[in-house]
């Protein structure tokens, strides 16, 4: 069962400049950064708030590390902006299977490693009214500040 909006992914050309915008404009601070080689992105997670299930809600800022990455291709086609929405779940495997049974295409056969050690999968945007949708099970350690 989906429990919260885990994060909204925002694709950007310059991660540092975009982080500074969100810091200066809204006071959001970076709680975690990493490079995900598999996804081809450099990212910053800006914590918005905690949630009742022990998780949190974030803005995930994504700068591609290579042009042929999914975010790199998306930026080339669409420019900067909202890339995806991610819903938190206690069991990404079960929820991915449940939506697959309802006819929604799940993009990965098995969940992959996402930000902060989470387990993730994506749902096809054509099956989700044009929205690339991610399902996320946070790593137990993700509930602590990084």
Active site residues: 7, 43, 60, 84, 134
Please, how many CA atoms are within 13 Å of residue 37, restricted to the half-sphere of its CB? 0
By three-state DSSP, how is residue 13 classified?
Answer: coil
Measured distance CA(62)–CA(44) in Å, rounded: 7
CA dist 2 and 22 (Å) reads: 27
Question: Which H/E stretch holds residue 61?
Answer: strand 56-64
Q: Which of 75, 92, 77 is nearest to 41 (CA)?
A: 75
CA trace torsion 94, 98, 100, 104 (10° rounding) = -120
């Amino acid at each position: 069962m989906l429990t919260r909006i885990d994060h909204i992914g925002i694709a950007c050309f310059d991660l540092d400049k975009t982080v500074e915008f969100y810091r200066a404009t809204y006071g959001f601070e970076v709680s975690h950064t990493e490079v995900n080689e598999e996804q081809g992105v450099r990212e910053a997670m800006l914590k918005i708030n905690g949630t009742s299930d022990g998780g949190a809600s974030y803005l995930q800022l994504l700068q591609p590390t290579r042009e042929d990455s999914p975010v790199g291709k998306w930026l080339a086609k669409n420019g900067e902006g909202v890339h995806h929405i991610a819903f938190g779940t206690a069991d990404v495997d079960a929820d991915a299977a449940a939506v697959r049974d309802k006819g929604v295409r799940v993009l990965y056969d098995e969940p992959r490693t996402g930000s902060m050690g989470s387990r993730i999968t994506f749902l096809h945007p054509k099956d989700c009214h044009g929205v690339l949708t991610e399902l996320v099970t946070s790593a137990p350690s993700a509930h602590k500040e990084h």
